[in-house]
C-alpha cells in the first residue's frame, strides 16, 4: 500500500497546486491513499492561513468525484507555538479532521526560513530552543497525530550540520513523551529536494524512536507542486524496513490504522 500523508494545495499559502490536479497526479502514480495537510501558522502568517471552510468544501467535492479511485483524508498541519495554542484548539474543535501534523515552523513569532529566529543566537542556542519549544507545545496541547519533520531546523541551519549528540537528550524527551501519549512521527521525504544528507527525521532519530518503543510512523512527501507528489514514498518504506520497522500508519478520524510494510 502506498499512502502520502503530507500534502499541500492552493489552500496553503506556499502552493498554487489545485487540489483536483494533485489528486489526478496521485492516481496516475498508483497511490492508494492521500491525506491533505494544509498549513495553519498562527502568529507569523496569521493572515495567510488556510481558509478551512473553503478547503473542507473543496475536499468534500473532490472526495465525491474521486473517492472510488483513491482514498482521500482530511488533515491539517498546525505550526504551533506555545503562545498560539488557543487559536489552534478553536480550529481543531471546528472540523472533523482525520489527521493533524504538529509542526514547528517558528518560535517567538520568528520564522526559521528567513533566519529571523536564528539571528543573534549561537548554533547551539537556536537548535536547543527549537526542540525545547516542540516539547513545551506537546506538554500543553494533545490534539495531534504525529510530529512533523522533527529535525526540520537542519534545513535552515547556515552554520552547517549540528552534532546530533548535542541535542539527543532533548530529542529523547520528545520521543518518550510522544510514545507515552500515543503520538507518532513522520518521515518527510522533502529531505531529497532540500539536498539534505539524511532522511527527515534522521536515521539516528528513527532508530532512537524504535529503541524507545515507538511504532507509529506516517510517510509524507510534503508536496507543494506536481513534481513533489509521491516523492520517494516507496523508498521511505524500504528504509523503514532496513531500520527494523514492520509497519506504517494511516489515520481516520484521528485514529491510527496499521499497515504492513
Residue ranges making up the domain that contains 238: 3-260
What pTM was estimated for this model as a whole?
0.96
Condensed to tens digits (0 to 9), the pLDDT of residues 135-152 reads 999 999 999 999 999 999
| CATH label of the domain that carries residue 243 | 3.20.20.140
Give the pLDDT of residue 132: 97
Q: How confident is residue 243, by pLDDT bands cut at 50, 70 and 90? A: very high
- Report whether pLDDT(44) > 90: no
Q: Where are the alpha helices (DSSP H) in the chain?
A: 19-29, 52-66, 85-94, 123-140, 168-180, 203-211, 233-242
Mean pLDDT, the chain, whole residue set: 96
Give the pLDDT of residue 46: 78
Which H or E run includes 101?
strand 99-103
Contacts of 222 (CB under 8 A, 6+ apart): 6, 7, 8, 149, 188, 189, 190, 228
Condensed to tens digits (0 to 9), the pLDDT of residues 183-228 reads 999 999 999 999 999 999 999 999 999 999 999 999 999 999 999 9
Q: How far is CA 2 from the centre of its chain?
A: 17
**DSSP-derived secondary structure letter, 202:** -
Give the pLDDT of residue 43: 87
By DSSP bridging, strand 99-103 and strand 71-79 are parallel
Of 85, 26, 89, 20, nearest in space to 57 by CA: 20
Condensed to tens digits (0 to 9), the pLDDT of residues 59-69 reads 999 999 999 99
SS3 252: strand
- Give the chain's domain count: 1
Give the pLDDT of residue 134: 98
- Per cent of the chain over pLDDT 90 is 97
Q: Report, as an integer, the average pLDDT of 164-189.
A: 98
- Report whether pLDDT(47) > 90: no
Please state, as a whole number, how many other Cβ atoms lie within 10 Å of the Cβ of residue 223: 27
Whether the bond between 67 and the residue before it is cis, its omega within 30 degrees of 0, is no
Of 103, 141, 114, nearest in space to 6 by CA: 103
Amino acid at each position: 500500500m502506498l499512502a502520502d500523508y503530507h500534502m499541500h494545495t492552493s489552500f496553503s499559502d506556499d502552493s498554487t497546486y489545485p487540489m483536483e490536479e494533485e489528486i489526478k497526479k496521485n492516481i496516475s502514480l498508483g497511490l492508494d491513499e492521500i491525506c491533505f495537510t494544509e498549513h495553519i501558522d498562527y502568529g507569523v502568517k496569521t493572515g495567510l492561513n488556510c481558509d478551512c471552510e473553503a478547503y473542507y468544501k473543496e475536499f468534500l467535492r473532490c472526495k465525491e468525484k474521486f473517492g472510488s479511485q483513491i482514498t482521500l483524508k482530511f488533515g491539517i498541519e498546525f505550526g504551533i507555538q506555545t503562545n498560539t495554542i488557543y487559536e489552534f484548539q478553536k480550529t481543531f474543535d471546528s472540523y472533523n479532521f482525520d489527521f493533524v501534523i504538529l509542526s514547528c515552523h517558528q518560535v517567538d513569532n520568528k520564522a526559521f526560513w528567513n533566519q529571523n529566529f536564528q539571528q543573534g543566537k549561537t548554533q547551539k542556542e537556536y537548535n536547543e530552543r527549537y526542540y525545547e519549544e516542540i516539547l513545551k507545545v506537546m506538554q500543553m496541547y494533545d490534539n495531534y497525530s504525529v510530529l512533523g519533520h522533527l529535525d526540520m531546523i537542519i534545513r535552515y541551519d547556515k552554520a552547517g550540520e549540528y552534532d546530533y549528540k548535542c541535542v539527543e537528550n532533548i530529542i529523547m524527551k520528545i520521543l518518550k513523551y510522544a510514545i507515552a501519549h500515543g503520538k507518532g512521527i513522520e518521515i518527510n521525504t522533502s529531505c531529497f529536494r532540500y539536498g539534505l544528507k539524511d532522511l527527515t527525521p534522521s536515521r539516528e532519530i528513527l532508530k532512537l524512536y524504535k529503541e524507545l518503543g515507538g511504532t507509529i510512523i506516517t510517510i509524507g512527501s510534503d508536496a507543494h507542486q506536481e513534481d513533489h507528489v509521491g516523492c520517494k514514498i516507496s523508498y521511505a518504506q524500504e528504509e523503514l524496513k532496513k531500520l527494523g520497522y514492520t509497519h506504517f500508519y494511516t489515520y481516520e478520524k484521528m485514529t491510527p490504522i496499521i499497515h504492513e510494510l
